[in-house]
Structure 1
C-alpha cells in the first residue's frame, strides 16, 4: 500500500513496533522483579495478553490492499481504495500498473512451483538467505538472553536487567535512524555499514570476555570500567543491527517479489526467520557454555559472510515501484542471466 518513495520507512514501522515491544517487555521485567511476593513473573507473562488483544481488535479495522481487491475481481473498489490511500484521484497510471501485474499473476497456476523456477531464482535466494543470515547475526544472544548474558559476564541481578533495558532503548533509537535514512541512503548502504560495525563490536566483545574469563571460562571479574566498555560495544552492536539487518531483513524480501510469487516469497521469508529464531533460542545457552567468548566470533564470522553476500548479490531497491522490480534483476550484474527479457514486467508508456 505504500508509495515507492516511502515504502522503506513505512515498512520499517513493523520493526519499530517490535523494538518498542522489546523495550516495554524489559521495563516490565525490571519492574516485576522488585515484587517481593514472588508473583512478578506471573504478572510479566500475563501482561503479554494486552498487545495480543490490541492486535486482534486492530486487525478488524485494517483495509484490504488494492492488489488484494483486484485479485478478487473488483476493479472499481480497488481503484477507490488506491485513491483513498494515495489521497488523490489521479491514480490512473499506478492503477494500470497494478492491473497489469494482477493479470500476469493470474496466469500463474502454481506459484510455489513457479517460485522455485529459474526465472525467480534471485527472489528465492534473497527470501531464503536474508532471514537465515538475520538470525545468525547473533542479535538473539543479546535480545533474548540479555539479563542472563550480563549476569554471566559479572553484572548483578539488577544491573543485568537494567543493562537489558539500556540495550532496548538503543534498539528503539537506532531503528528510528533506519526509518529516517532508508529511503535516502538506500538499503545496501545500511546493510554494509551495519555489517562492518557489528563485526568490529563482536571481535572487541570476544576479546574482552576472553581476557577477563580466559579460554576455559574460569571464574574472573571485570572492573567497573571494563564492564562499562563492554556495555558500550554491545550497545554499538545492537544499534548497528537495529538500523541494518533488523528492519532490512524484513523489508528487502518483502519488496523484491512480483505479485505472482509474492505470497510464496513472504511465506518463505517468515518461515525461515521463525525456524532459525527457534534454533538459536534452543541452542544458545549450550553454545555459550561450550564456546565461551568464541560464540561472538562464531556469529561475527557469519556477519562477514552475509556482508559479502549483500555486496555482491543484493540489488538496490530504493524508490523502485514493486510492479517494476523485475527490471532491477535484469540490470544486476550477476542475476541478469537468470531473468530473460520476456520475464521482465515494465510499466506501460
Structure 2
C-alpha cells in the first residue's frame, strides 16, 4: 500500500470512528431524555439540553472532516459516495440530538405525572426506536445493505403502530390535562421521527454500498367493491399489469373473499391481463390491517360504506367508474379505471412510476 493509500485509509477510519462515537452520544442523550421525562427529573432534563452543545460541535466538525477528505484525496466513486452518505448521516444524528433536547424541554412542562399506560408506551416506543437506530448505525458502519433494507421495514412499522397510540391519547376517558396531553403527543411524534431518521441512515447505507440514491417507495393500494361486481378485481389487475414495481394492489369485498367473476375472467383473457392471485380479501378481516395501506379506494358507493374509520396515515378516495353492461362488457369500466389508476400513480410516484 502506497503512502497516499495509507493516508486515505487513516483519514477514512478517523471519520468512521468519529461518526460512530457521535452516534453513541446521540443515543445516550435520547435515553437520558426518556428517563428525565418518565421520572420527572428536571436536573437530568437540563443536563441533556446542555449536553447537546458538544453534539452540535461534533456535527460541524464531522462536516468539515468529510469535505476536507474530499478536497485532499479527490476520491473515486466508492469513497465519494461514502462521504456524501456520511454527511447526510451526520445530519440525521444531529437532528436526533435535537429531538432529545425537545423531549427534555417538554418533560419540564408536564403539569402532572403520566399515567402508567402512557409511561409504558413511551418507554417501549423509545426503546424500539433506539434499537432500530442502533442497528441502522451498525449497518452503515459495516456496509450492510441487506440489514439496512430489513430495518427500513421495521421503521415503517413504527409509523403504522402510531394510529392506535394516537387513538388512546385523544380518547375522552384518558383524563389528562390539555398541556400534558400535548406534551405526550409531541414526545410520541419525536420518537417516531427517531425511527424515520434511522430509516434515512439505512437509505444512505444502500446508497453508499450499491450506488442507489434511494430505494423507490412501493405504495399499497386497496380497492373496495361489492361482491359479484368484479370492479375491484379489474382495478387490481390493471394496476398490477401496468405498475408492477411502483405499488401493490389488493381488492377487498365485504362478507367474505371471492374469486374473479366468470364474465371478467373472459374479458381479462381477451385483453391479455393476467388474472392469477386476484381473489379478493375479506374486508372484515382487514380491520386492524388497513393502516398498512397508503390509499383505500371505494369503487362502488363511498368508502364510509365499507370502513368505520380511516387510519391516520391512510388516504381514502371515492371513484365512480362506468358500471359493466351486457353490450359493452367491461370495456368502458376498463378505460375509466385505467385512467384513474394512471393519474393516481403519476401523482404519488412521479417519474419513478413503473
Q: Which bin holds the TM-score, normalised by the shorter protein? A: 0.3 to 0.5
With normalisation by structure 2, the TM-score equals: 0.32
Please tell me whether Structure 1 or Structure 2 has the larger radius of gyration of its CA atoms.
Answer: 2
Q: Which one has the bigger strand percentage?
A: 2
Relative contact order higher in (CA < 8 Å, ≥ 6 apart): 1
With normalisation by structure 1, the TM-score equals: 0.33
